[in-house]
Structure 1
């Protein structure tokens, strides 16, 4: 399917403390909850891709946008939505807002769709206010000059769902109900963009599977690890073949990453997995050749 959502969520679990959150609420906790539920809602409807791993350490902003741009180069229909919780020195400030790159009419259109879907899902303006008019053009040199809007080559917007620093908003951001409904807004918006029907899944009882360790729940079948961006082109060829996400070694989540870990550049030292496939050489050219030989098999 060509429909693809770059399901971004800002920050990793190691960013709080010291920053990216308020006492009792790491921002990553909210962001990743919305991203994970969005992925669940869109399963079987469209492809979702996350450059920031669930429950993982922070992947640098530049690295994330590089990953999204590489995906966009392969699929020009892809769109991106980045989740965030806002903060302000004035505790009275609150509300929902969407940022888009000022010169992109398509990004503005996507932002307008998200704002409209938010208003439909949360019609009570007293309880769920809108920040300003809800739409913010991200412009060079201004306070709205956001890296995620500026450096992504595709249609990409950044959502500030509410303010962590406001007491009422804080309660919402801590709420599982609000997080799931935010994900619903995000999923509906993506489907609306592509003209795909989407209905809220009906709640139904399901047999509970045997409990598994949390690490097992989060573990992928396959994953690719690169030492640095020099090895990224070779890793992209491998990712297309084995259909696995790519991670930079410095931004890996804690615990075992996947059952099968493909190392492009370097070795398995410091990595955790059940099986390792080492595709490395003394330089990036030998590493690229190692990947090429593997792909011939």
Structure 2
């Protein structure tokens, strides 16, 4: 049988050492998504599936050892592997980038064959692709990946969705059902490459751990109907017809913007969590009151941000405490007895005197760290 070598991209402690190859998110219990963790889950699952099919599969990271790129390529070459699969998830400066793709060396027909198999199964499951599902790595430039460039055997580097895009992270990378599908798709790269029958990867619907489905434009059924009902409860009314059409998509996006979520129109775990909260009256800042509230009527604390871009830094704080979040431009008068600033500093808010806690940093990353440190003291 052919010999396959599989790697999980990066190392188990890359985030801790560099602060890279991961992202802060309230979707994870520890507040951080580390790319290696999902890479390892998918790679390990593919290894187990291929071994059951009788393949010789090398997985030197079984014990999560650290390996440089050179060590990985040298290992694959020294062991005479017939195919190499390097498992990753993608990242982008764009927060709307989406989809999965497989990279191959530009002049490797065998590498392209492996990449095409990956793209075919992604598309067959109705999952989004990036660059049509494949990308030819070039000898120079950003796509000159070491693993593809220096391997002696056909090689493919997969990028299974963007962990920097919340909807990809929430609906695909952190979804156990999709992870299992990705394990099979990676196994199928080897199976079909060597002329074997592919595993069935049919994904009927993406279901969240609590039983709710991820719904979006084109979806139908009971979960869509319930979403339409609760959208109306929050003031974002749409027809209740169990069909996720353009109006439901529009109202979903408006609701997501109002909650500081990514306005992609996809109702996944985070959007469901907000929808199922008891609707709250709109804060006074959304429509200035005719006269200021008395001190005894004000909430104890509120959070102020400089723009919606600061919202990720305070989302966990808002969820934990229930304190209202105000955009700085809306704070025309005192809105709480005490203000927690997470964007823009104290300027213009001097009327609060010593009732200010300034968590703003010179960069958004520093602000995130300041908010995390503040939460530890709560």
- Give the TM-score category using the shorter length: 0.5 to 0.7
Matched with 1:181 is 181
Tell me, in whole angstroms, the C-alpha distance in 2 between the residues paired with 1:109 and 1:87.
Answer: 24
1:12 deviates by 1.4
Moved more, 177-186 or 14-23: 14-23
Tell me, in whole angstroms, the C-alpha distance in 1 between the residues paired with 2:93 and 2:63.
Answer: 28
Tell me, in whole angstroms, the C-alpha distance in 2 between the residues paired with 1:55 and 1:176.
Answer: 22
CA contact (8 A) 1:12 1:55 kept: no
CA contact (8 A) 2:184 2:199 kept: no
The ranges of structure 1 where at least 4 consecutive aligned residues each deviate by more than 2 angstroms after the TM superposition are 197-201
Matched with 2:93 is 89
Say yes or no: does 1:79 pair with 2:83: yes
CA contact (8 A) 2:5 2:57 kept: yes
Matched with 1:115 is 119
CA contact (8 A) 1:13 1:55 kept: no
Tell me, in whole angstroms, the C-alpha distance in 2 between the residues paired with 1:88 and 1:142.
Answer: 16
Change in 2 beyond 3 A, CA 1:68/1:8? same
Q: Match of 2:79, SS?
A: helix
Tell me, in whole angstroms, the C-alpha distance in 2 between the residues paired with 1:168 and 1:153.
Answer: 37
Q: Match of 2:5, SS?
A: strand
Matched with 1:47 is 56
Matched with 1:191 is 191
Say yes or no: does 1:98 pair with 2:99: no
Q: Match of 2:107, SS?
A: coil
Matched with 1:213 is none
CA contact (8 A) 2:21 2:34 kept: yes
Say yes or no: does 1:140 pair with 2:139: yes
Matched with 2:22 is 21
Tell me, in whole angstroms, the C-alpha distance in 2 between the residues paired with 1:56 and 1:106.
Answer: 29
CA contact (8 A) 1:68 1:152 kept: yes
1:200 deviates by 4.3
Tell me, in whole angstroms, the C-alpha distance in 2 between the residues paired with 1:44 and 1:133.
Answer: 31
Tell me, in whole angstroms, the C-alpha distance in 2 between the residues paired with 1:106 and 1:200.
Answer: 23
1:44 deviates by 3.3
Q: Match of 1:22, SS?
A: strand
1:185 deviates by 0.5
For residues 119-159 of structure 1, the C-alpha deviation after alignment (integer angstroms, 9 at most, x for no partner) is: 22x22xxxx21112221111111211111110111000100
1:198 deviates by 4.0
Between Structure 1 and Structure 2, the one with more strand by share is 1
For residues 243-282 of structure 1, the C-alpha deviation after alignment (integer angstroms, 9 at most, x for no partner) is: xxxxxxxxxxxxxxxxxxxxxxxxxxxxxxxxxxxxxxxx
Say yes or no: does 1:32 pair with 2:31: no
Tell me, in whole angstroms, the C-alpha distance in 1 between the residues paired with 2:63 and 2:90.
Answer: 20
Q: Match of 1:80, SS?
A: strand
CA contact (8 A) 2:104 2:155 kept: yes
Tell me, in whole angstroms, the C-alpha distance in 2 between the residues paired with 1:14 and 1:194.
Answer: 34
CA contact (8 A) 2:117 2:188 kept: no
1:93 deviates by 0.8
For residues 210-254 of structure 1, the C-alpha deviation after alignment (integer angstroms, 9 at most, x for no partner) is: xxxxxxxxxxxxxxxxxxxxxxxxxxxxxxxxxxxxxxxxxxxxx
CA contact (8 A) 1:111 1:135 kept: yes
Q: Match of 1:43, SS?
A: helix
Tell me, in whole angstroms, the C-alpha distance in 1 between the residues paired with 2:6 and 2:114.
Answer: 14
**Bigger radius of gyration among the two:** 2
CA contact (8 A) 1:14 1:57 kept: no
Residue segments in structure 1 that go unaligned for 5+ positions in a row: 202-297
For residues 84-128 of structure 1, the C-alpha deviation after alignment (integer angstroms, 9 at most, x for no partner) is: 0111111011111111001111111111111112222x22xxxx2
Moved more, 79-88 or 8-17: 8-17
1:6 deviates by 1.1
Aligned length: 191
